[in-house]
Every structure is written in structure tokens, then in C-alpha cells.
Structure 1
Amino acid sequence: MGELNISSYSPSAFILMGIPGLETLYIWIAIPYCSAYIIAFLGNVVLLFIIKMEPSLHGPMYLFLCMLSFIDLVLSTTTMPKMLAVLWFDLREISFHGCLVQMFFIHSFAMMESSVLLAMAFDRYVAICNPLRYTTILTNLVIVKIGLAALARAVVMVIPLPFLLRRLPFCQSVEVHHSYCEHMAVLKLACADTTLNSTYGIAVVLLVVGVDLMFIVLSYVLILRAVFRLASNDKRLKAIGTCASHIGAILVFYIPVVLSSVVHRFGNNVPLHSHILLATCYLMGPPMLNPIIYGVKTNLIRQRVLRFFSLC
């Protein structure tokens, strides 16, 4: 590894330390990480291929699922190969600008995933509470506009993060105590006042996670109210069953995000490696589990997947 040029303003590169405290287990930790990435990559590619090739899966719910799968592919591919390079081959160096680019992709696509989960909650609300108007409300044009709005919100809110970091001097350590370029982990290396950066980061988390979760909960309150008004138990169970996959995706994404944020802000006594492993869960868990959740719980997708593999 070449000598790093550390200036009074910004270094030429950072060193990703991986998971400090668990160095002796890196080879073994990388095995489930690699397995999760392979499952995530293959699962999402197969899901996208099946939805594209099957006309009966071109409805609003499946188009939102395509968005989710594409986002999961980008999230996992942005982080996992470099993490595996750190854990298996000790290739820890990442250029300063490469670190900022990785940070932008991680945080923006995580935000887009939150937006799509909110859109899917709206999809379930319309399907259950206004079934007769479902196709007129969620037209292809509306779905495209929702996707573009999710993209625009993510870009507008996340793009200030790398620019705010670029203005800071990094005149001390270049060792990022994390397995990828997470915003707060890099921010800790700055030798200047980081109040503006920290405040903006917290505001983004609250505006995204807080607002999206609030509307998702509101959607399900309205959905449950509509379900309990149905005449028979069979209809109630069928209505709830159509939401099962989405509820699973929500839990897989938001539980690690919320826990990681809480631990990062208030868990001063939590070991660093525990925080890093938890933070990695919301980048590794959803891409790996979402195709499994939707493949198992959605009959149309399950049938097409089984047919696909039987032909192979």
C-alpha cells in the first residue's frame, strides 16, 4: 500500500478498517457476507427478469417491486465487493472522492428504498380501501412520477453530505473505523467544527425515516380499519395476506435502520464492532431477504420462479 498524502485540507485516500475488534474473524465473517451478496444479486436479478418477461406481473405492485429490486442491487453492489476486499484481501484503501461517491450512493439509495416502501404502502391502501379505483389511481404515469419523485428527493437531500464533507480539513487520522464510507464514521475524522454536518445528517434521517414511517403507519391504520369492516373472516384474512410481503419488507429495512441510528446516537457503551455489524444489516438484509419474502408470500411470483427453475 502506497504512502498516503495527507494535506491540511483533505487526504488523497482513506483507510477502511473493516470491523475493528474482530480482525481475527475477518475470513469467517466474510463468508456469510459473500453468501448474502450472492443471494441478493441472484435473487433480485431473477425477480426483475421474471417480472419483465411475465405480462401478468406488470401491475402497480410488481412495478414498485422492480424499483425495490433495482435499488437493492445498487445498494449491495455499492458496498459488498469493497467490504469483501477489506475482509478477505486487506485491500483497505479507498480514494477520497471514491469514498464520497460510495457515501452518496449508499445514503441516497437507502433513502429511495424508504420512499418505495412508502409508495408500496400507498399501493396496498388503494387496493384494499378503494379497489374499484385501483387501476385509475395507480396508472403507469403515476407510478413513473412516484419513482422520479423518490429519485429527486434522494438526490436533493443527500448530495449536500459529500459537499459539506469536502469543505472540512482532515489533518489527523485517515482510518475510517467502519467497513464502508458511512457519513458519521468519516465525519469523526475531521479536525474542525462538524456541527453543521451532524445537524444536517440528523435532520435528513428524521425527515426520511420519521416522515416515511409515519405515513406507512397511517396507511396501515386505514387499511386495518377497512379490513375489520369486511363481512367475513375469509375476506379479512385474504386482505391482510396481500400485505404480508410488504410488512415483511418494512420490518427488514426499518428495524436495523432505527436500531443503528439509536445505537449510534445514544449507545456510548456499545462496542464499535456491534454498531458496525448492525449498520451493515440494513445494507445486506433487505437486498438478500426481499426477493425471498416476495417469492414465498406472492403466489404469482412463486409460481413463475418455480417454472423458471424447472425450465433451467
Structure 2
Amino acid sequence: MYSEGKSATIFNSTFVRPAKFYIGGFSNIPHVRYYYVFLCFVYILTVLGNSFLLSVIYLVRTLHTPKYIIVFNLAFTDLCGSTALIPKLLDTFLFDRRHIAYEACLSYMFFVFIFPCLQSWTLVTMAYDRFIAICFPLRYHSIVTNKSIVAMLLFLWISLTSLVAITVSFLNRLSFCGSLVIQSFYCDHGPIYQLACNDIFYSYTMANVLLTIIICLPLVLIFLTYVCISVALSKTTSVDQRLKALKTCTSHLILIAVFFLPLVGTNVAVLTSFIHPNTRIINSTLTHTVPPMLNPIIYSLKTEEMIHAVKRLWKRNKLNSAVTK
């Protein structure tokens, strides 16, 4: 079954590179195709929701502000992340194309990894925006400008892309002379480097670095910003100002919970106890796919500026339609 995958090429007289890997996926689950159909609907909703959010922010000039530049970046990474993962996942399992070439597998891994990293740090950038708005309201417009936010996001894209590229490139230092079956639903970093038959120190180290960069450091920074926000609000005597400030943070806190809670829960379960491979795959797929679907819904329904922008856009379209008639 895996004869194609076991054929290998020796390069640099040291490392053994397989021609193909085999993506294992679920084992012994009846009617699993319905789960993939569910993921297909999740992807459709993700594309529609994030495309709608991107279009509204682009078309309504009043939303061309630092806050909504960050939201635009989040919607874009949500859309790209789901597109990098779900169509290939559906092709792999619905059409039983589980063999994947070595180079294609590493590329697949890179694109699946980079967008959650960017999503995580976009949430940190949102926390920074709320921190400045609440703790330094008089200086907000001089500190948080369109140029400064674009520069921050550009720095995140470059630095995180470089980090993920380095992490993936270290797999080229590994030799695969045993099983080539990846016990995951995609070309996952951990299940791949654990198949190697030589020293995995560098890949293991980079896996921990990536885990720290994606989860631990962003959570610490977000926690610290909200501690500062809480201290600033405790010094405010006006109840109305406190409620208004808390209202502006509600959508962001929901986004944080939706993104980080499943991610933290899955990784804690993997690190502290045995978790069945099927359970881990379900947790991981939902962690990768559900937050990008929910994020535009949260921002469309929870943010007053977005609701007003949609109404304004709707009225403009109706007016344009009436004029053309």
C-alpha cells in the first residue's frame, strides 16, 4: 500500500528523503464522510463571511482606520488559512488521495502553519490598539495611525513567515527510513518529525519555539494589556465611560476565547495525557476551521461601526440601483 511512499532518494550522502508520505487521517470511524461534508459547509461559510467583511471594510471609507486595518488583516488570514487547509483535506479524504509528494507535503505544512501564527499575533495587535485607546485616549490618534499599524502587520508577516520557513526547512535534515504514514489529517509538523530515524533535536526545538510564539507569548501579552486596561478603568469615575470601554473590548475578548481556548485545550491534552488519535484529529480540525468561520460573524453582529457601515452600504446600493433605473 505504501510502496510508492517508501521509495527514497539519498542526498548529501546523509539524509534519506522519501518520495511520498501517506496521510493517515481517522481510523475505524463509520460514516466519517459526513464529517468532511460538514467541513465543506464550514469552509463555504468561512469564505462568504470573510469575503463579506473584507468587502465592507474596503468599500466603506469610514472603516479605513487602524482598528479595521487590523480586522481586515484578521479576515484575510482567516480566509487564506481555511483555503490552505480545507480544500486539500477534502480532496485527500473524500477522494482517497492520501499519498502526497515530499516537497508538496512541506509546502502544505508551511501554508497551514503560517496563517494561525498571523491570526494569533493579529489578536495581539488588536489588544495593543484597545490598550492605547483606553489607557492613552488623548494620544491615541498620534500613536495608532494607519502607517504604524501597517508597519506592525508587515513586520509580523515577514518575521513569522521566516520563522515558519525555518521550522519547515529543518525537516530536510531528517532521514525517513521507517514508516511514512503521517498520523494526522494533514502534513503536521509533530507527526512528521517523529517518523524520522535520526536526530530530531532541531525539529523538536523549533516545535517548542513555534508553540511558544503562537500560543504562550501572545496570551501573556494580551493578558498584560488587559491588566493595564482594568487598572485604567478602575481609576475612571464615570460608569458610562467604563461600560463604553468594556463594550469596545467585548468583540476582541470573544475572538480571543474562540481562537485560543480550543488551541490551548488541544495542546494541554496532548502534552499532559494520552489522547486518542481520532479525538486529537477532531479537536485539531475544529480548532483550525471553526474560528475563521465565527470571526466575521462576531465582528458583523457585535460591532456597531460594522452594522452602521453595512446599512450605509445597503442604502448606497439601493440609491445607485434607483438612479440606473
TM-score, normalisation: structure 2: 0.90
Q: CA deviation at 1:200?
A: 2.0
One-letter identity of the residue aligned with 1:137: I
Q: 1:36 matched to which residue of 2?
A: 42
Matched, 1:293 2:304: no
* Alignment check: 8 A CA contact 1:47 1:69 kept: yes
* Alignment check: 8 A CA contact 1:75 1:106 kept: yes
Q: 1:224 matched to which residue of 2?
A: 230
Q: CA deviation at 1:104?
A: 1.2
Q: 1:14 matched to which residue of 2?
A: 21
CA distance in 2, matches of 1:172, 1:305: 56
| Bigger Cα Rg | 2
Of 81, 84, 91, 2:87 maps to 81
Q: 2:196 matched to which residue of 1?
A: 190
What pairs with 1:194-205 in structure 2 (closer than 5 Å)? 194-205=200-211
CA distance in 1, matches of 2:276, 2:28: 9
Q: 1:261 matched to which residue of 2?
A: 267
* Per-residue CA distance 1:235-272 (angstroms, 9 max, x = gap): 2111101011111111111112212222222222x111
One-letter identity of the residue aligned with 1:180: Y
CA distance in 1, matches of 2:120, 2:113: 11
One-letter identity of the residue aligned with 1:240: L
Q: Sort the Cα spacing of 1:18 and 1:142 in 2 relative to 1 into closer, same or farther, 3 A.
A: same
CA distance in 1, matches of 2:217, 2:24: 33
Q: 2:134 matched to which residue of 1?
A: 128
CA distance in 2, matches of 1:278, 1:306: 37
Matched, 1:96 2:102: yes
Q: 2:170 matched to which residue of 1?
A: 164
Aligned with 1:172: secondary structure?
coil
Instruction: Point out where structure 2 has 5 or more consecutive residues left out of the alignment.
Output: 11-15, 319-325
Q: CA deviation at 1:274?
A: 0.8
Q: Sort the Cα spacing of 1:308 and 1:171 in 2 relative to 1 into closer, same or farther, 3 A.
A: farther
One-letter identity of the residue aligned with 1:281: L
CA distance in 1, matches of 2:183, 2:110: 18
Q: Sort the Cα spacing of 1:277 and 1:298 in 2 relative to 1 into closer, same or farther, 3 A.
A: same
Q: Sort the Cα spacing of 1:99 and 1:282 in 2 relative to 1 into closer, same or farther, 3 A.
A: same
CA distance in 2, matches of 1:309, 1:178: 44
* Alignment check: 8 A CA contact 1:26 1:88 kept: no
CA distance in 2, matches of 1:4, 1:155: 29
Q: CA deviation at 1:279?
A: 1.5
Matched, 1:241 2:247: yes
CA distance in 1, matches of 2:119, 2:289: 13
Matched, 1:108 2:103: no
Q: CA deviation at 1:307?
A: 6.1
* Per-residue CA distance 1:68-111 (angstroms, 9 max, x = gap): 01111111001000111233221212221111111112222211
The share of aligned pairs that are identical, in percent, is 35
Q: CA deviation at 1:234?
A: 2.4
Instruction: Point out where structure 1 has 5 or more consecutive residues left out of the alignment.
Output: none
CA distance in 1, matches of 2:116, 2:217: 15
Of 46, 53, 56, 1:50 maps to 56
Q: Sort the Cα spacing of 1:12 and 1:309 in 2 relative to 1 into closer, same or farther, 3 A.
A: farther
Structure 1 segments of 4 or more deviating over 4 A? 306-312
Q: CA deviation at 1:220?
A: 0.5
Aligned length: 310
TM-score, normalisation: structure 1: 0.93
